[in-house]
Structure 1
Amino acid sequence: MMALDDVVDTYCATWNTTDAGECARLLRVACTADCRYSDPLVHDLDRAALVAHIGMLLEKFPGSAIRRTSVIDSHPAGLRFGFVRLAADGGVMREGTDFCSLGEGGRLQRITGFFGPLVAL
């Protein structure tokens, strides 16, 4: 079983990966087969749909990157962590928090993201 920091950091790395095959591989490492993702813009995406969603965002915001900005707060029912999307020039585009439940092997099973409005383009 991976350490919790490694699971979350691998998941965050998927949001920075422009190659769909590599993105899918990273999601298989960090997330369960039945993982679901939701945020204010999309609802109940499976892993394949999440790969497409990430690809669309990276096309829309080339050079942008997600960075974890907090420790991982966890307890038996789940975890949360803060993140930021940085523009290609390093400016903060958006801040947010993900809440997750864990499944098989300590991997992410349910991811619910919350974020504020875009602050830079």
Structure 2
Amino acid sequence: MTETTTDFTALARRYVEAFNRTDPGARRRLVAELFAPGCRYVDPLADVTGHDGVDGFLGTVQDRLPGFEFRLLGDIDAHHDRARFRWQAAPPESYASGAEPPVIGFDVIVLDAEGRIEQVHGFLDAVPAP
């Protein structure tokens, strides 16, 4: 990993925390703090822009995966203004049992000049069957 002035590990943890925030007001505040106003989030299930788009998408994820907890998986790889990291999502009891998480993916984030997330490119490696 190339040295940067951004603590990408802390940023990735807070990013994943946004997926776990079930209180809409608290989630909205975290989105506004982490993401640039004109940000874009793209993954196989969404293509949204701005704080409203990201916040709405996170709410939809929580509705589709009620009770799931998102966690970082492995190390963060970062250079310049971008980073990639893997994550997983499962019910908390699934983590305790050691079962394979039903949702695994990785995201690439790009930061703006102020260190806020400007772009997210998400990929899904494993998803539950419909």
TM-score grouping bracket, smaller chain normalisation? 0.7 to 0.9
Give the counterpart of 2:70 among 61, 66, 69: 66
Residue 14 of structure 2 aligns with which residue?
Answer: 10
Residue 99 of structure 1 aligns with which residue?
Answer: 108
Structure 2 gaps, min length 5:
none
> Whose Rg is larger?
2
Residue 80 of structure 2 aligns with which residue?
Answer: 76
Q: C-alpha displacement at 1:29, in angstroms? A: 1.9
SS for the counterpart of 1:15 is helix
Aligned sequence identity (%): 25
Structure 1 residue identity aligned to 2:55: V
Residue 117 of structure 2 aligns with which residue?
Answer: 108
| C-alpha distance after superposition, 1:32-86 (max 9, x if no partner) | 1221101001113322122112112212221101111122111125210010011
SS for the counterpart of 2:78 is strand
Closer/same/farther in 2, CA of residues 57 and 44 from structure 1, 3 Å limit? closer
Q: Distance in 2 between matches of 1:58 and 1:44?
A: 16
Q: Is the 8 A contact 2:38 2:50 kept in 1?
A: yes
Structure 1 residue identity aligned to 2:10: D
Structure 2 residue identity aligned to 1:97: F
Residue 23 of structure 1 aligns with which residue?
Answer: 27
Q: Is the 8 A contact 2:105 2:126 kept in 1?
A: no
* Aligned-CA RMSD value: 2.1
Q: Distance in 1 between matches of 2:29 and 2:6?
A: 15
Q: Distance in 2 between matches of 1:75 and 1:88?
A: 32
Q: C-alpha displacement at 1:113, in angstroms? A: 0.5
Q: Which structure is higher in strand share?
A: 2
> What is the number of equivalent residue pairs in this alignment?
121
